[in-house]
Structure 1
Amino acid sequence: MTDKLENFRKIAVAFADGLKAVAGVEEIAVFGSVAGGDRYPSDVDVAIILSSLSGLAQVARHKRKVDNSNYLDVFLFDGRKFMGNVCHRKDCPGQSMECYQPGCGRNKFIRVREGLVPDPARWFKTPLIVLQKHDDKSVFLDWQKDILRSLGLTAPEAYQVRGSITEKCRQCGSGFEINPGEQKYFESMGFKLPKRCQPCRDGSRGLEEV
């Protein structure tokens, strides 16, 4: 397990542990890359079932407390109905263009994200880990079973983890590897994958500084 995966799992556990006594929180589960064992996850996807919105402000406040880098993405459900995501802002509505998205903030601290189409079949057909539940039965695990049955699956599909890419440096001709974490970083920054190895890139920076 990489340090990043381990740290993200710790964030998820700390988040769930802090919500044990919060009103309305019925069940918490991790899904996506962290539950699937991706060694280079880009975020932590957590799903919460709420029986009421009475404790939502506490949920949002606790999210900010354990996740000051905003890696934690919290999906809210009323039973099997998707409600939206927990907003990371301190105030609702905040001073952001996102706050003008239709429906965003209708319920305080529930963010409606533009372009996000709820797709539980995609979210829950891969492994999920239940961190907390109040009843003996798990709504998320029962829901997952129904999804798998509808897809003709007998067990969750393995999470699709990226592999490393090997490139040939256009400067020195040697082969170099771009691991999945680096691929995600370059994509998140809007950069193309590098065509030169790290030593050649470092050497170019040194020449530019001289």
Structure 2
Amino acid sequence: MNDSIRFYHAAQHFANKVENLASVQEVILCGSMADGDPYPGDLDLAVVLSHLDELPDLARFCRQISSATHAWEVFVFNANINDRREATMSKYMEQLNSEQAKEVLRILCKGEAKLASRAEEIAKAFICDIQEDELASQVYWALEHIDVRDLWDRSGKTRFGYVDPVEKAYEMVKDALEPFAEQIHKLRDLALLSEAKKAGLGLTKGVIQFSKEGRTEFSEWAQDDPIEWLWGWLTDWEKECANEEEQACIREMERLLEERHL
């Protein structure tokens, strides 16, 4: 499945989920997907809300997009558009890519303490709303949906020489799991250690589930690779970690692996 189709399906699933939220007025496809680019680099969506009371629910549905791709961004807008001028501005907003949208937000918040504070609240709600079991499902999905045909295309005899399929399989597993590790590092940087622990345990549970239940053709090449990668990543984290709360998180993740003899 190419990126364009995968992004489209992810957008459709997201829209189907959020339509049950009373605050959602509109879901808009933005960026390269909206322009019909046959090779989009990411999935950009804008959601227009009438109020922010259901923001945690929306954040949960946003995170679930990671089951299909980690290359996504969702922008939230207030539905209070009262005149033609504002409506026209909204049309331009739809065409912004993720970096441009971030710059617009930075400009709006500069010198506007109240707006900056509200934007901070919304951003924190997205970042902190982590459900351990939900994240585990996303990890499992990310591994389960690695296409073995991609492994075949990228390994064996190539124009650059021979590529070992076993080594390439490990590399593909690493690519699938690193976005989850990066999420944990960002939470650590923000001193959100409780959330980092939830994310770490969710990552561990997802990896364990794949090692036990993975039944795809790709899993035949890489059944133990996620466990191997996770042990190595935990070792690196432990070496650089001096915080007791982080060390406790690492020990709990290691305990989960050891309990399952992995």
Query: Normalising TM by the smaller chain, what interval?
Result: 0.3 to 0.5
Structure holding more strand per residue: 1
Q: 1 or 2 for the larger relative contact order (CA 8 Å, sep ≥6)?
A: 1
TM-score by length of 2: 0.33
